[in-house]
């Protein structure tokens, strides 16, 4: 099952495109949203030094039906917006693909992360194309490959990264265990123990993935 990250270029008829382009240093966070064929409702978190101007511009959008300021404190506001513009999320609804919330809108582009089947991901691409919504696929990984990211502790990640970047695993070896330990500021025995545990976890996982008898 693929997990994908998409960068969406907002169409000109989506109200938040002009707003996020005008305030291109402001990130608009879509906390939740409800999409229909001809209307949409979104809950937005906005953080900006120009908050009052942004809220006034939201209310001034021709296709915005209603704006409710739910919460405001200093530079942050939570706003519910109802709009009649063609909803950005409608292709997701058509394809039956849930998007992870919240997602961000910045300078006219939205970033979506989603996990679905390959068929539904292809269907989403078809509906985005039909709606003339331009998009870039930033990454696609199989959900099973994410297991590797859960194998190591943050400290193991750090030590292993230093060892790899230093050339400890290069052939021929470009750094000794002592070099890696000194870079990290730990004892040689501690460094060796962390690397050994990391290597053991990775090799055991690889064997389980590749060789069923293990």
Domain annotation for the chain: domains and CATH numbers: 2-142 (no CATH), 151-210 (1.10.10)
Element spanning 142, H or E:
strand 135-142
What pLDDT sits at residue 147? 54
What pLDDT sits at residue 213? 44
Residue 151 has pLDDT above 80, yes or no: no
Q: Where are the alpha helices (DSSP H) in the chain?
A: 15-22, 51-60, 90-95, 118-130, 154-166, 177-184, 188-210
The model's pTM is 0.62
What is the token pair recorded at 18? 């002009």
- For strands 27-35 and 40-47, give the pairing: antiparallel
Element spanning 68, H or E:
strand 64-73
**Per-residue model confidence as pLDDT tens digits over 49-105:** 899 999 999 999 888 999 999 999 888 999 999 988 766 788 998 899 888 889 999
Q: How confident is the model at residue 11 (pLDDT cuts 50, 70, 90)?
A: confident
Q: Please spell the DSSP secondary structure of 97-132, one letter per residue.
A: -PPPSSEEEETTEEEEEEE--HHHHHHHHHHHHHTT
Report how far residue 152's alpha carbon sits from residue 157's, in angstroms, rounded to the nearest whole number: 6
């Amino acid at each position: 099952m693929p997990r994908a990250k998409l960068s969406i270029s907002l169409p000109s008829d989506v109200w938040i495109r002009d707003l996020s382009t005008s305030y291109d240093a402001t990130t608009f966070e879509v906390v939740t949203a409800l999409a229909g064929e001809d209307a949409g409702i979104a809950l937005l978190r906005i953080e900006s030094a120009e908050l009052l101007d942004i809220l006034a511009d939201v209310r001034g959008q021709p296709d915005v039906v209603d704006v409710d300021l739910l919460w405001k404190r200093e530079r942050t506001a939570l706003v519910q917006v109802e709009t009649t513009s063609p909803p950005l999320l409608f292709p997701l609804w058509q394809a039956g693909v849930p998007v992870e919330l919240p997602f961000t809108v910045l300078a006219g582009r939205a970033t979506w992360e989603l996990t679905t089947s390959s068929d539904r991901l292809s269907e989403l691409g078809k509906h985005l194309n039909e709606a003339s919504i331009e998009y870039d696929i930033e990454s696609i990984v199989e959900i099973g490959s994410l297991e590797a990211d859960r194998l190591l502790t943050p400290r193991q990640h750090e030590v292993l990264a230093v060892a790899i970047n230093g050339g400890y695993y290069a052939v021929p070896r470009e750094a000794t265990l002592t070099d890696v330990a000194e870079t990290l500021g730990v004892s040689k025995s501690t460094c060796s123990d962390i690397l050994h545990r990391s290597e053991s976890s990775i090799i055991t996982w690889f064997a389980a993935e590749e060789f069923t008898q293990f």
